[in-house]
Amino acid sequence: MMMTLLQRYKTVRQRSEALAVPLLTEDFSVQPAVFVSPPKWHLAHITWFWEQFVLLPFLKGYKVYDENFAYLFNSYYNNLGERVLRPHRGNMTRPPLEAVMRYRAYIDLAMQVLLQQDIPVATQSVIHVGLNHEEQHQELFLYDVKYILGLQPGFPVYGDGYILPDEEQSTQWLPVAAGLYQLGYKGAGFCFDNEQNRHSVYLNDFEIADRLVTNGEYLEFISDGGYENFNLWHDDGWHWKNKQQLRTPLYWHLVAGEWYEYDLHGLHKLNLQAPVNHISLYEAHAYAAYRNRRLPTEAEWEIASDHFRWGKLWEWTNSAYLPYPGFNTVPGALGEYNGKFMINTMVLRGASIATTPGHSRKTYRNFFYPDMRWQYSGIRLVR
């Protein structure tokens, strides 16, 4: 049975709070790196989004909960005024977590009033953006929690629900014939604006692996001097790697001659059959070059995706994040959602074990800077 909009809203909001249950109070305000947002900030920001984009314009007589929260919990919407800069989010011990939870309850009550009314189609469209926005932050929440806990000496356990299954032992190469294909979202359901418009692309013949690269295979790359061979790397990647003094994926640890990996269920021996995880675009490219292979373009990935299983990890492509033909941003703050990031970032396709169920589709265009690897990201090869 299909959920009502109110039921869908309640389900999404309850999941956000459920993700916070395993945390200690001390975990909520920590920001160990610029790209990490404190868990408390996530819970407040996704609540502010509902207030700003839905309640203020669409609920008659709505009264803002706290005028200061727009400055504290705006993320990057220049149209909506000044805000606390991202590197300073972890400095905010105030308002306390209890106040953020009261804010959430206030917004949820107001949204229940709105969602029990007859809602115009245009308003419903914004509400669906809000639901998907919150689901995006649920995944980001897990990335940030893992980084916060994973840098602590005791390697705290968050939970055991995010364990990557093993890959197949052998690789099957799936052929795709040259031809003209259609790329982009098609259907009546929700999609983000960056998935439109549907358009034609021409692809040459290629073959794509039916599985992801494993930890064991990546360890061969490390043992064979992959991080020391500049011929395998982009120039940017080579300088980035050397500056950061990196020699392994994020969360790998060599202990008494044995490899371990930190995950949300704690520190454990590296599973050589599991897919390699927390890889930057730079590392993914270098590994592909080491195997005399390459990364797929996002068009190749989308066209071939019906023929392999995906969803364990976001998969790097060799495509820059750029607008599709005919792409237009909507007026106002919502127009900043995707379009202004279409520079210097690269596309990842698929989903991950941290993605909220029901949030993925094969046309989904995720994007990160090429040096980022705190997200659940892996490697699929093309030849």
321-363, pLDDT tens digit by residue? Answer: 999 999 999 999 999 999 999 999 999 999 999 999 999 999 9
Instruction: Give the pLDDT score at 347.
Output: 98
Reported as a single tens digit per residue, the pLDDT across 196-236 is 999 999 999 999 999 999 999 999 999 999 999 999 999 99
What pLDDT shows up at residue 28? 98
Taking alpha carbons only, the member of 253, 278, 256, 282 closest to residue 268 is: 253
Phi, psi (5° rounding) for residue 315? -110, 125
Give me the mean pLDDT over the 270-277 stretch.
98
Q: How many angstroms separate the CA atoms of 181 and 201, rounded?
A: 5
Looking at the predicted structure, is the pLDDT value of residue 289 above 80?
Answer: yes
Instruction: Check the CA dihedral 356-37-270-382 and report its sign.
Output: positive
Do 166 and 108 form a contact (C-beta atoms < 8 A)? no
Rounded distance between C-alpha atoms, residue 336 and residue 143, angstroms: 23
Structure confidence at residue 37 as a pLDDT band (50, 70, 90): very high
**Cα 132 from chain centroid (whole Å):** 12
Selection from 365, 249, 274, 373 nearest residue 317 by Cα = 365
The span from the CA of 16 to the CA of 271, in Å, is 30
Torsion (CA) 364, 369, 370, 372 in degrees, nearest 10:
-100
- Split at pLDDT 50, 70, 90, the class of 1 is low
Q: Determine the residue type at 261.
A: E
pLDDT digits (tens, 9 = 90+) for 9-34: 999 999 999 999 999 999 999 999 99
Please give the Cα distance from 250 to 261 (Å, whole number): 9
Side chain identity at residue 353, one-letter code: I
Nearest to 38 by CA among 96, 83, 81: 96
Kindly give, in sequence order, each residue whose CB lies less than 8 Å from that of residue 348, ignoring residues fewer than 6 positions away: 314, 315, 316, 317, 366, 367, 368, 375, 377
Element (H, E) at 243: helix 235-244
Give CA–CA dist 114/111, Å, rounded: 5
379 token code pair: 């490697």
- Give the position of tokens 């995010």: 162
Q: How far apart are CA 376 and CA 58, in angstroms?
A: 36
H-type helices in 66-201, by residue range? 69-73, 97-115, 121-150
Residue given tokens 């979202």 in the structure block: 185
φ and ψ at residue 334, rounded to 5 degrees: -65, -20
Longest Cα–Cα distance in the chain? 66
In three-state secondary structure terms, 64 is: coil
The pTM for the full model equals: 0.97
Count other Cβ atoms within 10 Å, centred on residue 272: 16
Q: Which tokens is 368 given? A: 């990160």
What confidence tens digit (pLDDT) does each residue in 140-183 have? 999 999 999 999 999 999 998 899 999 999 999 999 999 999 99
Asked if residues 110 and 55 have their Cβ atoms less than 8 Å apart, the reply is: yes
Could you read off the pLDDT of 354-379 as tens digits, one per residue? Answer: 999 999 999 999 999 999 999 999 99
Q: What does the alpha-carbon distance between residue 81 and residue 156 come to, in Å, rounded to a whole number?
A: 38
Across 252-269, average pLDDT: 97
79 pLDDT higher than 80: yes
Secondary structure of residue 215 in the 3-state scheme = helix
**Cα(334)–Cα(125) distance, integer angstroms:** 12
Each residue's pLDDT tens digit, 42-72: 999 999 999 999 999 999 999 999 999 999 9
3-state secondary structure of 116: coil
Task: For residue 104, name the pLDDT band (cuts at 50, 70, 90).
Answer: very high
Pairwise CA distance, residues 14 & 16, whole Å: 5
- Nearest one of 300, 323, 311 to 378, comparing CA atoms: 311
